[in-house]
Structure 1
Amino acid sequence: MSAVVLLVLGAAVWANAASNTTTADNSTSCDTVLRGYQCSPEISHFWGQYSPYFEVPSEISADIPDQCKVTFAQVLSRHGARDPTASKTKAYNATIQKIQANSYSFEGNAAFLQNIEYTLGADELTTFGEQELYHSGIKFYKRYASLARSQHMFVRASGESRVIASGQFFTDGFHQAMVDDKSNLTGDYPYDMLIISEDETANNTMSHAICTNFENEDDDIIDARGQTPWNEIWLPPIANRINDQLPGANLTQAEVTYLMDLCPFYTVADPEGKLSDFCELFFEDEWKQYDYYQNLGKYYHYGAGDPLGPTQGVGYVNELIARLTNTPVEDHTSTNSTLDSDPETFPIGPGHVLFADFSHDNDMTAIFFALGLYNDTEPLNNTQVQTAEESGGWSTSWTVPFAARLYVEKLSCSGETDEYVRFLVNDRVIPLSCADSDGKCKLDAFIDTLDFAKSGGNWSACFN
């Protein structure tokens, strides 16, 4: 049984976020509410899951189709930009210390390494990440203002502190947009948020934990499918070049990837997202190789490349079906039946058409594949780069960057009796197999494509 906390958000959080948004929302900035982070896109859009959110190119217009209106809207969001995890921040610091203790030359664009002091924290949102979610809330309100002016939003967050904080900043931005819109619907601010525990025994559709065989998988075996063979190809030339540039450092290939990681992490540690000096250590084609390295890790750990990966997203898909169809949740995987059967903690039906959920990149990857959003993505090649376009529109930077967001829209259209559904991942309309030229599927037809989730995926394989 999951531990649950109902949290009331404070206005002080909004005041802090609001004070940090003016620069990034300036029309002359390369980081805006509508299009996200467009600074040095030839580099920053190839940082895998460490990329800041950016508007992904869409073959189909993201505008609401003509003669249609949105009757339901849901966002599933990743938390905003953060500091490295605790284990990684130790490894990064150790790498910097090793370079400074052993290298006897610091020339050119590596000169900054001689005196840099490691200043990154661990796990929590950066100021830049707070701004990302504040902006996301503004954008969500503006896109769905026709609903938001008259309908209350129900908010859930997985129980990690950075995820909860992301929900706070999102709702603060959402509320500020409502105030700016002079909407009368302000009575439920500060917003309540349902927080679902991430304890390893907790049923939580936004944080995997209870599928035993999935949690116990051998990382070396998983990496052998993707990252390990790729590392043998792309990393040696880069490591040789960096070690030539830093004589005496004798960096391992893993430590070279740490230096690459520090490019996005130091960038998002700057409140305005100023490109870090670490980024200048590497060439554009090397960033594409790095991006693909991250793709292989995510695909073969949490995507269709792992037999149990998409199954971790099945519970969330079945909750979404319930919301879209106004019917009780039918699921026997990671859902919490106590929460999902209570209208206070899982409201469905008339008057409940605006939802916001907050999660992690790994869980969102599993959910996207369980939804069938990337059924056209073939198993990733582990010896050469495939672009997102060549991979059915899937890559980590396109799908789960910091502050990633999935929009689910239900629409009614003039002269039509059928309801329609449409999915947008970071502003890219997903061309579902059942979709028309606007990217919308008849709701019933889309639900019919979800047999994998409705049947529980491979959940039985979690425990045998």
Structure 2
Amino acid sequence: MVSSRLLFLSGGLASAAVLDPRQATTASGETTASATEPWYYQTTPELFAGPTTTGLIAPFLAQTNPAPWGAEASFVPNAPLETNLPIQGNTNNQSIFQLHGQLSSYFPNPIGFGSNEYPLPPGANISTVHLLHRHGARYPTGTSSVASFGSKIQNITANGTAKWTGDLGFLNNWKYNLGAEILVARGRQELFDSGVLFYYNYGALYNTSTKIIARTTTQDRMLKSAEYFMAGFFGLEWTQNASLVPIIEQNNFNITLAGYMNCNNSNNYLSTGGNNASVIWENIYLADATKRLKALAGGYNWTVADSYNAQTLCPYEHVAFGYSQWCDLFTYEEWQGFEYSIDLQFNGNNGFGSPTGRAVGIGYVEELYARLQGHLPDVPPGTTQINTTMVASTATFPLNQTLYFDFSHDTNIFSIITAFGLKQFGQPLGPTGPPANRQLIVWEIIHTPQPLKAIRPTSPNATASDFYANGTATTYIHLSISQRTVPLYKSYPQCEERDDGWCELSTVLEIWSGLLDQAEYDYSCNGKYPAAAPGNITNGVPISKRDLGRRFGSGLEFYESSDRWVL
């Protein structure tokens, strides 16, 4: 699964403006030199700055780029991490570090989702962008099994319980040195780089006469992710250009950027079908690795769970320290198995295979649905986790910006994808092995002067008349995830089948008008229903009472919670 970044754009004619974000404060709002420091420590305001003339226009690459990134191009992001490892079975020189699911450093989707990538046709205009962005690379959760495993191995070595040999010999001097929860340096770089990229794509949309509102959560890695992105987009003085609203991320608080916080059943055994399926798969794909490593464990009873935790330490140590000795303990095929285990977890815990998948994501869906129609969200009480205090006023939920920035968690973003009903990412995943051509993972809304033909002309000599059919101005929505176009007709049959993957905005809004009911929020989050076996839930909601007898007869299958969380 490719790390996700969700982007929403709404179209219409916009005025381009030049960014000039200089100010006399730091990101925290304070001057950098105190009254007791010598003047030569002062960095703001700048005393001898020299010429400071900014450019005459801001970039707008999303509007002007004649050569969008496609299948024939290659992109190698700047990475300070060691990736040149001799991995057994890697015959095509492919990177195992793109097989770590949500733990991978960000990279663009290398194969796409089945749509052609095109520049904007002549006469089309982008006016507004709605960005939903995940946090950057970070340390593991403090209570996760990988943290417990690290401490256990360190204690076993210190007690002399095991004498590690062969490829595990490094453990005789190894210590668990990871922190917990917060961003690592690579994560800070990812968000800063993303802000820079976003500036090049949409900088011209920023209106220098305004100060925009952006939203994140109070969790440290979420707040810092938003701040580093802003610094990349606006510069270090971003607080002159934007106000960041951190919404409380705690249990029982309503927050659409972490929708599971007020969804009880998303935090108990009912929504651990992904973990249960992953455990089944781990016992299959890690059987050989467990035998190899057990023989090197010096009497310690090395288990499949140990093998999986050892694999999970690789991406966490890799982004924290730049290199991890855990990484080359496994074959390329075993790393492919690891990626599929994370697909299973996301699908069953947070996506179409989870009974709370739609419910957790529906709040953000309703916020965007309202915003694209130009009004504040107005939903019945108890049907979403929208924070009604925060969306009751345009001071905290603005409707007239050209740029909207929201920052969320990877699991929450996948639930949002589910709540949008993007069924092409809901392919059933079996716990005994990956199906062929599985897909697990930005929206643009664009105005055109006439209806755009479903098949784009490819001739370099094509004129505007070759792009458009007769008719009036039309607005389209264009979804892009991890910098690649998602064909909307594959999820929404009401959309025209187009080679660019776009769909008319009016059609999509009509589809979205029914998503709130489909999410079954109260029943999904608070209802009493049995836990289904892996693979029995396929639409992100609990199996309905009507279907229980038909699907299971009198023998309902119950699954208890897995005690192992690795996300």
Please indicate the TM-score interval, normalised by the length of the shorter structure: 0.7 to 0.9
CA 1:87–1:330 in structure 2 vs 1: closer, same or farther (change >3 Å)? same
Per the TM alignment, residue 220 of structure 1 is displaced from its structure 2 partner at its CA by 6.1
The Cα shift of 1:313 comes to 0.4
In structure 1, the gaps of 5 or more residues are 1-7, 16-27, 180-185, 400-406
The one of 47, 56, 60 equivalent to 2:100 is 47
Counterpart code for 1:412? H
State the 1:353 CA deviation.
2.4
Query: CA 1:423/1:266 → structure 2, altered by over 3 Å: closer, same or farther?
Result: same
Partner of 2:78: 32
> 1:374 and 1:52 mapped to 2: Cα distance?
26
Give yes or no for contact 1:164–1:195 (8 Å, CA) kept in 2.
yes
Kindly tell me: are residues 278 and 172 of structure 1, through their superposed partners in 2, closer, same or farther at Cα, counting changes over 3 Å? same
Map of 1:213 onto structure 2: 265
SS at the partner of 1:449?
A: helix
Report Cα offsets for 1:400-435 as digits up to 9, x if no partner.
xxxxxxx22221124351211111111121111126
Quote the offset at 1:29 in angstroms.
10
After superposition, residues 356-367 of structure 1 pair within 5 angstroms as 356-367=405-416
Whether 1:453 and 2:515 are equivalent positions in the alignment is yes
Alignment partner of 1:213: what SS? helix
Given the alignment of the two structures, is residue 193 of structure 1 paired with residue 244 of structure 2, yes or no? Answer: yes
Mapped to 2, the partners of 1:123 and 1:376 lie a distance apart of 28
Q: Which has the higher contact order (CA 8 A, sep 6+)?
A: 1
Q: State the shift of 1:452 in Å.
A: 4.6
Q: 1:237 to 1:138 in 2, by over 3 A?
A: same
2:333 maps to which of 285, 291, 298: 285
The equivalent residue for 2:345 is 297
Contact between 1:315 and 1:333, CA under 8 Å: does it hold in 2?
yes
**Distance in 1 of aligned mates of 2:268 and 2:75:** 45
Q: How much has 1:218 moved relative to structure 2?
A: 4.2
Q: CA deviation at 1:157?
A: 0.3
Counterpart of 1:333 in structure 2 is 384
Candidates 385, 400, 420, aligned match of 2:476: 420
For 1:85-104, list aligned pairs within 5 A.
85-88=141-144, 89-98=147-156, 101-104=160-163
Partner of 1:437: 499
Q: Is the 8 A contact 2:102 2:410 kept in 1?
A: yes
Residue 234 (1) aligns with residue 293 (2): no
- 1:132-281 equivalences in 2 (<5 Å): 132-148=190-206, 153-176=212-235, 189=240, 191-207=242-258, 208-218=260-270, 223-224=275-276, 226-270=277-321, 274-281=322-329
Match of 1:74 in 2: 130
The 8 Å contact of residues 133 and 166 in structure 1, kept in 2 or not, is answered as: yes
Q: Does 1:111 align with 2:169?
A: yes
Distance 1:310 1:162 in 2: 25
1:322 maps to 2:322: no
**Letter of the 2:222 counterpart:** V
Change (3 A) 1:37 1:344: farther
1:127 equivalent in alignment to 2:162: no
SS in structure 2 of the partner of residue 339 of structure 1: coil
CA contact (8 A) 1:13 1:172 kept: no
How many pairs are equivalent? 414
Which string of whole-angstrom CA distances, capped at 9 and with x for unpartnered residues, describes residues 325-370 of structure 1? 2123133311112221200000113xx1211111111111100111
State the partner residue of 1:369: 418
Deviation of the 1:103 alpha carbon: 3.4
Structure 1 counterpart SS, 2:231: helix
Alignment partners' CA distance in 2, 1:279 and 1:248: 23
The one-letter code of the counterpart of 1:430 is V
Q: Aligned letter for 2:406?
A: D
Structure ID, larger Rg: 2
Does 2:360 align with 1:312? yes
CA contact (8 A) 2:275 2:348 kept: yes
For residue 153 of structure 1, report the CA deviation from its aligned partner. Answer: 4.1
How far did residue 453 of structure 1 move?
2.4
Partner of 1:463: 526
The list of structure 1 runs, each at least 4 consecutive aligned residues, that deviate by more than 6 angstroms after superposition, is 11-15
Using the TM superposition, name which of 336-345 and 433-442 deviates more.
433-442
Alignment CA distance shift 1:61-1:284 (3 Å): same
Matched AA of 1:426:
S
The CA distance in 2 between the partners of 1:110 and 1:259, in whole Å, is 11
Is contact 1:370-1:452 (8 Å) kept? no
Q: Is residue 435 of structure 2 the alignment partner of residue 386 of structure 1?
A: yes
Quick check: 304-313 or 208-217, which moved more? Answer: 208-217
2-structure distance, mates of 1:37, 1:139: 20
Residues 1:159 and 1:90: Cα distance change in structure 2 (over 3 Å): same
Asked if the contact 1:324–1:410 (Cα under 8 Å) also holds between the matched residues in 2, the reply is: no
